[in-house]
C-alpha cells in the first residue's frame, strides 16, 4: 500500500474509534476529562494547520479526525465529563498554554515540535490520573482502535526526519500506554484514596 492509502486508513480507524466513545458517553459510561479535551482540541486544531503548512499530506488524516472529534468531545464534556478545577487540572492548563505560546512564537521548527508535544502531554496527565482512579469511565475499545490507527499511521510516514516522525511516534506511544493501563491495571488503589481522587475528578 502507498503511504497515502495507509494515511487514509489510519484516519478512518481513528474516526471509527470515536464511535464507541460517543455511544458510551451518551450512555453515561464514559466521562471525558474536561481539561484533557480542552487542551487536546485546541492543540489538534493548531497541529492540523501546522501539519498542512509543513507539507504533510499522507499523515494529515489522523490529525484532521482528532481536530474535529476531540473538539466535539470537549463540548460534550461540559455535560457528561469530569474534572476542570482540580489542582492538577489548573497546573496542566497553565503548562499547556505556556507550551502553546512558546510553540507559536518560536522560529525553530524542532523546538516548536518539542513544545507542542509538551503542551499536549499536559493533557494526558489528568487523563492518566482519571484512568488510575476510575478506569471504567473510559472506553477501552475506543482506545484500542485509536492505538491501532496511530500504529498504521507510522507506516504512512514518507520521512523519518524528526519534524515529521516524532509527533506520530508520540501519539502511538501515549495511546499504547493508556491501553496498557486500561487492559492491564497495575497495583490497585486503596478504596479510600480512590474515593478522594474520584471526588476531585468530579469538580468543574
List, as one string, the DSSP characters of 58-79.
Answer: TTHHHHHHHHHHHHHHHHHHHH
What are the helix (H) ranges across the chain?
Answer: 3-26, 34-54, 60-80, 87-105, 109-133, 140-154, 162-183, 191-201
Alpha-carbon torsion, ordered 192, 195, 196, 197, to 10 deg = 120
Q: What is residue 29's predicted lDDT score, i.e. its pLDDT? A: 95
Below-50 pLDDT ranges, the chain: 187-188, 191, 194, 201-202, 204
- Give the CA angle between residues 32, 35, 20 to the nearest 5°: 20
Instruction: Provide the pLDDT for residue 186.
Output: 58
The pLDDT value recorded for residue 188 is: 45
pLDDT 10s digits, 85-103: 788 999 999 999 999 888 8
Contact at 8 Å (CB) between 166 and 173? no
User: Are 11 and 58 in contact, with CB atoms under 8 Å apart?
Assistant: no
**β-pair partners for 82:** 33
Distance of CA 143 to the CA centre of its chain: 10
Q: How high is the pLDDT of residue 176? A: 94
For 121, half-sphere exposure in the C-beta direction (CA atoms, 13 angstrom radius) is 14
Provide the pLDDT for residue 200. Answer: 53
Q: Give the pLDDT confidence score for residue 53 in this predicted structure.
A: 67
> Contact, 135 vs 185, CB < 8 A?
yes
Confidence (pTM): 0.83
> How high is the pLDDT of residue 58?
61
Q: What is the pLDDT of residue 164?
A: 74
The cell numbers describing 110, all together, are 524542532
Amino acid at each position: 500500500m502507498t503511504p497515502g492509502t495507509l494515511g487514509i486508513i489510519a484516519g478512518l480507524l481513528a474516526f471509527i474509534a470515536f464511535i464507541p466513545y460517543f455511544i458510551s458517553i451518551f450512555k453515561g459510561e464514559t466521562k471525558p476529562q474536561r481539561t484533557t479535551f480542552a487542551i487536546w482540541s485546541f492543540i489538534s486544531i493548531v497541529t492540523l494547520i501546522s501539519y498542512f503548512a509543513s507539507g504533510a499530506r499522507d499523515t494529515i488524516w489522523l490529525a484532521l479526525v482528532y481536530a474535529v472529534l476531540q473538539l466535539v468531545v470537549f463540548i460534550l464534556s461540559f455535560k457528561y465529563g469530569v474534572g476542570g478545577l482540580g489542582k492538577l487540572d489548573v497546573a496542566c492548563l497553565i503548562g499547556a498554554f505556556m507550551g502553546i505560546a512558546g510553540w507559536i512564537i518560536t522560529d525553530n521548527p524542532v523546538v516548536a515540535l518539542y513544545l507542542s508535544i509538551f503542551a499536549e502531554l499536559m493533557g494526558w496527565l489528568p487523563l492518566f490520573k482519571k484512568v488510575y482512579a476510575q478506569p471504567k469511565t473510559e472506553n477501552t475499545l475506543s482506545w484500542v482502535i485509536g492505538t491501532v490507527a496511530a500504529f498504521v499511521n507510522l507506516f504512512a510516514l514518507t520521512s523519518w526526519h524528526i519534524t515529521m516522525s516524532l509527533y506520530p511516534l508520540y501519539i502511538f506511544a501515549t495511546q499504547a500506554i493508556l491501553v496498557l493501563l486500561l487492559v492491564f491495571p497495575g497495583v490497585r488503589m486503596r478504596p479510600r484514596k480512590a474515593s478522594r481522587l474520584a471526588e476531585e475528578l468530579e469538580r468543574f
